[in-house]
């Protein structure tokens, strides 16, 4: 999770089939890149808060980021940033990981759906909600587990209306007939109530019942099987892996198969990892492959990382699946994954995939990744857009192990390309060190290119530093 991302990355729509599924990691990566790009409305009263929140989020200071995004929602409800601040505030709280923060994150998502249905991140909030519920359910929150169980169902075709009978006729008690196909939206269906009850039952008694439910392969029991897959994944017995693998390979319902692969991510065992490897290599279904990638990314097992790295280089893998592997490797910090991604970049021909590698390495941080990004930004043989993206993420890191402000200031004289200089001016504008403003002032005073000088002057004008005011007054009085 996913980048994922990425991070993760993190993922939501307002009216989406509520199925527990791994997040669309391509979308998470796009959102994370977008978080860095949004923030260009200097007239918005919340603009400075948004920029500060974004910088805190990018540095991994999720508690501070959540507070700053929360300030936007409280103080600037009419701001163009307010709707998305709900989502990113929830995402930051999710990354903090404590139960109270997770519950607060859910209230933020509810508020966004209610008050800002047109926000650009509303399409992603349902997936984020599922991730939050999963974290709570894993910690023993039964309400979260119950909501997840309900969300684990795709919508069913409308059931034919039953004839209305007078009270007492035909023994109608007001409950669904036990011979009808269950509809997961029917809270009165005794079979669904019984399945929910298995969440609290010990594994020794619950797993045999779940096995029998999942062994039924008729269309009528699909809703029961969808729910049973999630409940089974929360149990810890030796049978769980075998049952989920059988369902993932053989269930006739596509959604049931997808969910079985997804929930294998919650089974921390060597066998589960090998099962996911087998599914990834043998399944012709791209959606199943994506679920297997996500499930492997959640396994804290070195073997899972090996499998993902090998598959990322495998010929014939679709760009979408490869993109998800890149994202999730970026969410698993470590020397092996970082070295692999740096090497993979040179082998890629697709610009979107290259951009995702840049993003993933920037998210990992560290000295070696920082040097690699700096070298990429300076490499004149690379496409200008890739160089600009590398430079952007170097500037956003705020991490001295990636690039010190002294190094960034020194870059200006080394770069000759006009677009790269303009990008570097923007990078300076996002930094808080005094040296960044000093460099912008220096560009205003000495840069020969009028367009670059104007850009630097604009950003100097956004500063509240007395040095900026003195420069502006000096220019006015010339």
Token pair, residue 350, equals: 């697709």
Per-residue confidence (pLDDT) for residue 189, from 0 to 100: 64
Is it the case that residue 197 has pLDDT exceeding 50?
yes
Mean per-residue pLDDT, 449-464: 90
Scored b (16 or more CB within 10 A) or e, 120-154 reads: ebbbbbbbbbbbbbbbbbeeebeebbebbbbbbbb
Q: Which of 49, 135, 63, 127 is nearest to 92 (CA)?
A: 63
Greatest Cα pair distance in the chain: 96
Please, what is the angle between helix 82-96 and helix 99-115, to 10°?
160
Q: Give the DSSP H or E segment for 288.
A: helix 286-297
Is it the case that residue 347 has pLDDT exceeding 50?
yes
Per-residue confidence (pLDDT) for residue 40, from 0 to 100: 54
Kindly compute the dihedral angle of the four CA atoms of residues 439, 445, 448, 451, in this order, to the nearest 10 degrees.
70
Poorest-confidence range of 15-29, 167-181, 315-329, 385-399? 15-29
Mean per-residue pLDDT, 68-91: 92
pLDDT band at 175 (very low <50, low <70, confident <90, very high): very low
Helix (H, G, I), strand (E, B) or coil at 152: coil
Helices (H), 175-238: 190-197, 203-215, 222-233
Q: Are 97 and 67 in contact (CB under 8 A)?
A: no
Mean per-residue pLDDT, 160-186: 47
**Could you give the CA distance from residue 47 to residue 123 in angstroms, rounded to a whole number?**
23
What is the domain partition of the chain in residue ranges?
Answer: 25-151
pLDDT band at 186 (very low <50, low <70, confident <90, very high): low
Dump pLDDT digits (tens) for 15-70: 233 333 334 444 444 455 445 444 455 678 888 889 898 988 888 899 999 999 99
Per-residue confidence (pLDDT) for residue 380, from 0 to 100: 87
pLDDT band at 179 (very low <50, low <70, confident <90, very high): low
pLDDT band at 309 (very low <50, low <70, confident <90, very high): very high
Poorest-confidence range of 132-146, 218-232, 275-289, 335-349? 132-146
Tell me which residue has tokens 């603009």.
47
Which pTM value belongs to this model? Answer: 0.56
For residue 60, the 8-state DSSP code is T
* Mean pLDDT of the chain, nearest integer: 79
Q: Are 64 and 56 in contact (CB under 8 A)?
A: yes
**Could you give the CA distance from residue 469 to residue 42 in angstroms, rounded to a whole number?**
18
**Could you give the CA distance from residue 172 to residue 166 in angstroms, rounded to a whole number?**
9
From the CB of residue 200, how many other CB atoms can be counted at a distance below 10 Å? 9
Determine the distance from the C-alpha atom of residue 8 to the mean position of all C-alpha atoms in its chain, rounded to a whole number. 4
From the CB of residue 90, how many other CB atoms can be counted at a distance below 10 Å? 31
Per-residue confidence (pLDDT) for residue 33, from 0 to 100: 45
Q: Which of 475, 401, 378, 392 is nearest to 429 (CA)?
A: 392
**Could you give the CA distance from residue 66 to residue 311 in angstroms, rounded to a whole number?**
36
Q: Give the DSSP H or E segment for 305.
A: helix 302-312
Is it the case that residue 158 has pLDDT exceeding 70?
no
**Could you give the CA distance from residue 278 to residue 267 in angstroms, rounded to a whole number?**
16
pLDDT band at 188 (very low <50, low <70, confident <90, very high): low
Q: Are 391 and 360 in contact (CB under 8 A)?
A: no
Q: Which of 458, 450, 448 is nearest to 425 (CA)?
A: 458
For residue 331, the 8-state DSSP code is T
Token pair, residue 262, equals: 């997804």
Architecture (CATH level 2) of domain 25-151: Alpha Horseshoe (1.25)
Token pair, residue 367, equals: 């000295």
pLDDT band at 367 (very low <50, low <70, confident <90, very high): confident
Mean per-residue pLDDT, 102-127: 90
Q: Which of 95, 81, 25 is nearest to 327 (CA)?
A: 25
Per-residue confidence (pLDDT) for residue 42, from 0 to 100: 66
Poorest-confidence range of 105-109, 154-158, 266-270? 154-158
For 432-441, which contacts have Cβ atoms below 8 Å and span 24 or more sequence positions?
Answer: 433/405, 434/465, 435/405, 435/406, 435/409, 436/405, 436/408, 436/409, 437/463, 437/465, 437/467, 437/468, 438/409, 438/467, 439/409, 439/412, 441/467, 441/468, 441/471
Token pair, residue 81, equals: 């940033």
Q: Tell me the percentage of the chain whose pLDDT exceeds 70.
A: 81
Handedness of CA 189, 195, 201, 206 (dihedral sign): positive
Poorest-confidence range of 1-5, 75-79, 292-296? 1-5
Look at 412 and 399; give whichever has higher pLDDT: 412
**Could you give the CA distance from residue 247 to residue 212 in angstroms, rounded to a whole number?**
12
Is it the case that residue 366 has pLDDT exceeding 60?
yes
Contacting residues for 221 by C-beta, under 8 A, at least 6 apart: 181, 182, 213
**Could you give the CA distance from residue 237 to residue 437 in angstroms, rounded to a whole number?**
60
Dump pLDDT digits (tens) for 85-113: 999 999 999 988 888 899 999 999 999 99
């Amino acid at each position: 999770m996913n980048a994922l991302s990425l991070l993760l990355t993190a993922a939501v729509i307002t009216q989406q089939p509520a199925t527990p599924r791994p997040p669309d990691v391509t979308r998470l990566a796009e959102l994370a890149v977008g978080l860095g790009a949004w923030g260009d409305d200097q007239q918005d009263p919340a603009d400075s808060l948004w920029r500060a929140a974004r910088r805190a989020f990018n540095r991994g200071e999720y508690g501070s980021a959540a507070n700053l995004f929360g300030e936007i929602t409280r103080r600037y409800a009419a701001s163009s940033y307010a709707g998305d601040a709900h989502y990113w505030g929830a995402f930051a709280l999710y990354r903090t990981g404590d139960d109270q923060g997770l519950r607060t994150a859910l209230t933020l998502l509810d508020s966004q759906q209610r008050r800002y249905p047109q926000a650009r991140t509303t399409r992603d909030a349902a997936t984020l909600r599922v991730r939050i519920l999963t974290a709570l359910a894993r910690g023993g929150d039964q309400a979260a587990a119950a909501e997840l169980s309900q969300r684990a169902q795709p919508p069913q075709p409308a059931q034919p209306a039953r004839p209305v009978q007078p009270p007492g006729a035909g023994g109608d008690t007001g409950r669904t007939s036990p011979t009808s196909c269950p509809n997961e939206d029917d809270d009165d269906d005794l079979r669904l109530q019984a399945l929910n009850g298995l969440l609290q039952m010990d594994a020794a008694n619950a797993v045999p019942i779940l096995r029998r439910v999942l062994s039924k392969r008729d269309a009528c029991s699909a809703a029961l099987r969808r729910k049973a897959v999630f409940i089974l994944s929360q149990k810890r017995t030796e049978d769980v892996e075998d049952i989920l693998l059988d369902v993932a390979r053989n269930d006739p319902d596509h959604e049931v198969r997808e969910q079985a692969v997804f929930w294998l991510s919650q089974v921390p065992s060597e066998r589960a990892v090998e099962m996911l490897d087998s599914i990834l290599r043998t399944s012709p279904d791209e959606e199943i492959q994506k679920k297997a990638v996500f499930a492997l990314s959640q396994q804290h097992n070195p073997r899972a990382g090996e499998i993902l790295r090998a598959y990322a280089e495998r010929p014939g893998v679709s760009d979408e699946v490869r993109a998800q592997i890149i994202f999730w490797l970026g969410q698993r910090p470590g020397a092996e994954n970082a070295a692999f991604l740096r090497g993979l970049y040179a082998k890629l021909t697709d610009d979107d995939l290259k951009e995702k590698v840049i993003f993933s390495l920037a998210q990992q941080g560290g000295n070696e990744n920082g040097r690699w990004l700096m070298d990429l930004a300076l490499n004149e043989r690379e496409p200008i857009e890739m160089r600009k993206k590398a430079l952007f993420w170097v500037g956003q890191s705020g991490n001295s192990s990636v690039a010190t402000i002294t190094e960034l200031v020194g870059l200006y004289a080394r770069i000759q390309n006009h677009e790269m200089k303009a990008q570097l001016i923007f990078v300076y504008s996002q930094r808080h060190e005094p040296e960044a403003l000093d460099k912008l002032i220096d560009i205003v005073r000495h840069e020969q290119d009028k367009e670059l000088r104007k850009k630097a002057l604009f950003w100097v004008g956004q500063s509240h530093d007395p040095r900026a005011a003195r420069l502006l007054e000096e220019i006015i009085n010339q």
